[in-house]
Amino acid sequence: MFRVGKMAGLSSYEKRVVMKKKLREYPVAERPAALGLEAADISALHTGLTLEAADHMIENVIGTYALPMGVAQNFVMNGRAIEAIPMVVEEASIVAACSFAAKLARNAGGFTAGSSAPIMIGQIQVLDVPDVDLARSRVAAATQDLLNWLNAENASTRSRHAHAVDIELRTLPAAIAAHWLIVHVLYDCGDAMGANLVNTACEALAPLIESLTGGRVHLRILSNLSDHRTVWARCTIHVSDLVAEGAAARIVEAGLFAEFDPYRAATHNKGVMNGVDAVAVATGQDWRAIEAGAHAWCARSGRYTSLTTWRVNPVGDLTGFLEMPLAVGIVGGATRVHPAAQTALRMLGVTRAHELAEIMACVGLAQNFAAVRALALEGIQAGHMALHARQIVVAAGAHGAQVETIAARLIAEKNVRMERARELVEQGNKE
């Protein structure tokens, strides 16, 4: 069952935001303070992960690897303004495009978003089941006892924050799996992503499942197709904000291309995930799990399709809708050890995992709108070129004000290439 997300009032971080001019007009080092961040958070953003903390996270650590963190602005979700949404990403134009889309959505009241209960699925693969029908009915009859055992009796799965809520049984096509039974253990994971607890529960249940089914348990692992833990976001864009003649219809045509063609859907969805992943990385989430779930969800009908739909409503405005599985946590995992991820969560002012998921869905929808609008109206390269030119110019050795002037010259000459950028930098250095 879906609910519309609700967030508490302003966080203490948001109350401190006092910007006297646009964020980008502050020197880069002054932006965190302008956003109201306190000294400890600013130092977390600048230092990132210490070597010592990194050494505890994975094996054979030799260093840490930094990426830019930017913030998307202009978001309103369920009536609440979200001052700054942290995004960690290497691709130019994503943050700016996201803020631009959020601004247009804000003109029409902002995003609405909601989510289901945070239910994860653990899978137990049972093979060599002598009588699958009998096994099904025996596991079904024992469901309540198994849930009680997980939630109250077994020490490794008892938790105050998460609990097993149901068991579902599935079979697969008889040609290969005539004697297989797939047991799904459903867990309400609360504010955790839940992978550890669900995997522990699957392993703990295995002997009980073997004795009930008479089969042999093989794999015991969480499913990343978390289709019981979904999130949705919706927005409207006023047709007057789209400016170009027939723009809404052209954006709908672009969206339909993705709905019906998997080749286009893959790229369209990459645009959605540009936003979702950037917030996932900033907040310390398992973005591979999110990606895997999103794409499996898109293929659930047997034909890969788009994560979003775009339509024109009866008054001629554009409406967008996104629904996807989104397993995120605000306790445990990298959120516990990565100081910049903790800062990112504080900036978002989220106190529950579903609030984070709802924000990520809005960012995904905004990102998708920005990409599809650009593709449908002016082509993606116009906007990309300016940012690409700046990157080339920096790589060619330009500094300070040189960056903007040389980038503008490359664009005017329609020659955004490294050799030309180097020539202009050398010329500039001699003058």
CA distance 114 to 371: 23
Give min distance, CB of 241 to ligand MEV, in A.
Answer: 19
Tell how many helices (H) and how many strands (E) occur in the chain: 17, 13
* Catalytic-residue membership of 21: no
Give min distance, CB of 381 to ligand MEV, in A.
Answer: 10
Question: Is 270 an interacting residue with respect to ligand MEV (CB under 6 A)?
Answer: yes
- Report the alpha-carbon angle 244-247-249, nearest 5: 155
Question: Is 267 an interacting residue with respect to ligand MEV (CB under 6 A)?
Answer: yes
Q: Which of 31, 136, 268, 390 binds ligand MEV (CB under 6 A)?
A: 268
Q: Is the dihedral of CA 301, 305, 309, 310 positive or negative?
A: negative
Q: Which of 380, 385, 403, 411 binds ligand MEV (CB under 6 A)?
A: 380
**Near ligand MEV by CB under 6 A, which window of 75-83, 160-168, 174-182, 262-270?**
262-270
Q: Of 110, 136, 204, which Cα lies nearest the Cα of 164?
A: 204
Catalytic residue, candidates 6, 15, 30, 91? 91
Q: DSSP secondary-structure letter at 111?
A: B
CA distance 149 to 137: 19
Question: Is 391 an interacting residue with respect to ligand MEV (CB under 6 A)?
Answer: no
Question: Is 132 an interacting residue with respect to ligand MEV (CB under 6 A)?
Answer: no
CA distance 3 to 91: 33
Minimal CB distance to ligand MEV: which residue?
Answer: 271
CA distance 205 to 124: 9
Structure tokens at 383: 């906007």
* Catalytic-residue membership of 286: yes
Q: Which of 279, 372, 389, 416 binds ligand MEV (CB under 6 A)?
A: 372
Q: DSSP secondary-structure letter at 223?
A: E
Q: Closer to ligand MEV by CB, 281 or 327: give it.
A: 281
CA distance 158 to 313: 49
* Catalytic-residue membership of 358: no
* Catalytic-residue membership of 22: no
Q: Is the dihedral of CA 198, 201, 207, 213 positive or negative?
A: negative
Structure tokens at 13: 């971080």
**Near ligand MEV by CB under 6 A, which window of 119-127, 153-161, 371-379, 387-395?**
371-379
Q: Which of 116, 274, 306, 335 binds ligand MEV (CB under 6 A)?
A: 274
Q: Which residues are catalytic?
A: 91, 270, 286, 384
For ligand MEV, the binding residues (CB under 6 A) are 91, 267-268, 270-271, 274, 371-372, 375, 380
